[in-house]
A and B are shown apart, each in its own frame.
Chain A
Amino acid sequence: RKEVEQDPGPFNVPEGATVAFNCTYSNSASQSFFWYRQDCRKEPKLLMSVYSSGNEDGRFTAQLNRASQYISLLIRDSKLSDSATYLCVVNDRGSTLGRLYFGRGTQLTVWP
Chain B
Amino acid sequence: DAMVIQNPRYQVTQFGKPVTLSCSQTLNHNVMYWYQQKSSQAPKLLFHYYDKDFNNEADTPDNFQSRRPNTSFCFLDIRSPGLGDAAMYLCATSRDGGIGGYTFGSGTRLTVV
Contacts and interface: CB of A to CB of B under 8 A. Distances in A.
A100 B102 CA distance: 9
A102 B43 CA distance: 6
Contacts of B99: 31-32, 91, 93
Contact-residue size bin, chain A (C-beta under 8 Å from the other chain): 20 to 34
Interface in A6-64: 31-32, 34, 36, 41-46, 49
Interface residues of B, number: 26
Contacts of B42: 4, 87, 102-105
B79 to A, nearest CB: 24
B98 A43 contact: no
A44 B41 contact: no
A41 B109 CA distance: 9
Contact of A41 (B41, B88, B98): B88
B45 interface: yes
Nearest to A33: B101
A44 B88 CA distance: 11
B101 A97 contact: no
Contact of A42 (B31, B50, B101, B107): B107
A108 B63 CA distance: 35
Nearest to A43: B104
Chain B CB within 10 Å — which of A43, A49, A100, A102 has the most? Answer: A43
Interface of A: 4, 31-32, 34, 36, 41-46, 49, 87, 89, 91, 93, 96-100, 102-105
13 contacts: A31-B99, A34-B101, A41-B109, A43-B104, A45-B104, A46-B102, A46-B103, A87-B42, A91-B101, A93-B99, A97-B97, A100-B102, A102-B43
